[in-house]
Amino acid sequence: MRVAALLLAVEMAINLKLNLRGDFKKICVKIAERVNLAAI
């Protein structure tokens, strides 16, 4: 269990580093969608 949890934590950390830019883009898209809905 501990080994699996450790591997999961490492995998999550790697994914966070790799997906920072992607997540930022997703957040920007969500904000843009909300702004567009508000504009309508």
Query: In whole angstroms, what is the distance from residue 40 CA to residue 37 CA?
Result: 5
Question: Measured between alpha carbons, how far is 8 from 2 in angstroms, rounded to an integer?
Answer: 10
Residue 1 has a pLDDT of 64
pLDDT of residue 23: 76
- DSSP for 1-40 reads -HHHHHHHHHHHHHHHHHHHHHHHHHHHHHHHHHHHHHH-
Task: Tell me the residue range of the domain where 34 lies.
Answer: 1-40
- Give the number of domains in the chain: 1
pTM comes to 0.40
Specify the pLDDT at position 22: 75
Interval 1-40: pLDDT, tens: 688 888 888 888 887 777 777 777 888 789 888 887 777 5
